[in-house]
Structure 1
Amino acid sequence: MKMHHLRDLLAVAEKGSINAAAKYLGVSQPALSRSVRELEKEMGAPLLERQATGAALTPMGDLFVMRASSAMNELRRARDEIQQMQGSVHGTVVACISAMGHQALLPEALDVFTRRYPNVQLRIIEGVFPMIDARIRSGVVDFYLGPAPEWGAAPGLQLETLFKTRRVVLARKGHPLAGARSLEQLTEARWISTLITAEAEKEFSGVFSGRGLPIPKVALQAETALTWITALISTDMLIMLPDQWLNSTLIRDIIVPIPIEETLGGPFMTLVRRSSVPSTPASEYFCDLLRRVASRQNTAVRDIDKLQLIRHA
Structure 2
Amino acid sequence: MSWLLHHSVGGAQNYEHTPRADTVFTCRAILVMKLTHIRDVIAVAERGSLRAAARHLGVAQPAITRSIREVENILGVVLFERHTRGVVTTAMGETFLRRAVVVQNELRLAQDEIEQIRGAESGHISVVLSTASHLTLLPRALERFRRRFPHIVLHVREGLIANCEPLLQDGSCDFYIGPLAGCQPSHQFLVEKLFDSRSVVLARKGHALAGSVSLADLVPGKWLSAADAIADDNELDSLFARNGLPAPVVEMFGGCGLTTLIAAVSSDLLALVPDQWLVLPNIYTMFETINVAEELPSSMTCVVRRAHLPLTPAAEYLCDTLRWASQVYVAAVTHGHKHALFSDKPPLGLVRALG
What TM-score, normalized by structure 1, do the two folds share? Answer: 0.91
The runs of 5 or more residues in structure 2 that have no matched partner are 1-32, 337-355
- Between the aligned residues of both structures, percent identity stands at 41
Q: Which secondary structure state, in structure 2, belongs to the residue aligned with residue 204 of structure 1? A: helix
Name the residue aligned to 1:97.
Answer: 129
Q: Which secondary structure state, in structure 2, belongs to the residue aligned with residue 252 of structure 1? A: helix
Q: Which string of whole-angstrom CA distances, capped at 9 and with x for unpartnered residues, describes residues 132-177 of structure 1?
A: 1211111111111111241323120111110001221111122221
- In structure 2, C-alpha distance between the alignment counterparts of 1:129 and 1:147, rounded to whole Å: 7
- Specify the code of the residue in structure 2 equivalent to 1:79: Q
Q: Which string of whole-angstrom CA distances, capped at 9 and with x for unpartnered residues, describes residues 239-287 of structure 1?
A: 1112232221264322221232334242211111111111001111011
Q: How many residues align?
A: 303
- In structure 2, C-alpha distance between the alignment counterparts of 1:18 and 1:174, rounded to whole Å: 55
Distance verdict in 2 for CA 1:199–1:145, change over 3 Å: closer
The runs of 5 or more residues in structure 1 that have no matched partner are 305-313
1:276-291 pair list within 5 angstroms: 276-291=308-323
- Specify the code of the residue in structure 2 equivalent to 1:123: H
What TM-score, normalized by structure 2, do the two folds share? Answer: 0.81
- In structure 1, C-alpha distance between the alignment counterparts of 2:279 and 2:332, rounded to whole Å: 13
Pick aligned residue for 2:144 from 97, 100, 112: 112
Matched, 1:153 2:185: yes
Higher Cα Rg, which structure: 2
How far the C-alpha of 1:206 sits from its partner, in A, is: 4.0
Distance verdict in 2 for CA 1:106–1:250, change over 3 Å: farther
Name the residue aligned to 1:310.
Answer: none
Q: Which secondary structure state, in structure 2, belongs to the residue aligned with residue 50 of structure 1? A: strand
Name the residue aligned to 2:353.
Answer: none
- In structure 2, C-alpha distance between the alignment counterparts of 1:252 and 1:222, rounded to whole Å: 21
- In structure 1, C-alpha distance between the alignment counterparts of 2:289 and 2:44, rounded to whole Å: 48
Name the residue aligned to 1:122.
Answer: 154
1:212-251 pair list within 5 angstroms: 212-249=244-281, 251=283
Matched, 1:55 2:87: yes
Q: Is the contact between residue 230 and residue 298 of structure 2 (CA under 8 Å) also seen in structure 1?
A: no
Distance verdict in 2 for CA 1:80–1:98, change over 3 Å: same
Pick aligned residue for 2:219 from 183, 187, 193: 187
Q: Is the contact between residue 84 and residue 90 of structure 1 (CA under 8 Å) also seen in structure 2?
A: yes
Q: Is the contact between residue 215 and residue 292 of structure 2 (CA under 8 Å) also seen in structure 1?
A: yes
1:163-202 pair list within 5 angstroms: 163-195=195-227, 196=229, 200=233, 202=234
Q: Is the contact between residue 40 and residue 46 of structure 1 (CA under 8 Å) also seen in structure 2?
A: yes
Greater CA deviation, 66-75 or 219-228? 219-228
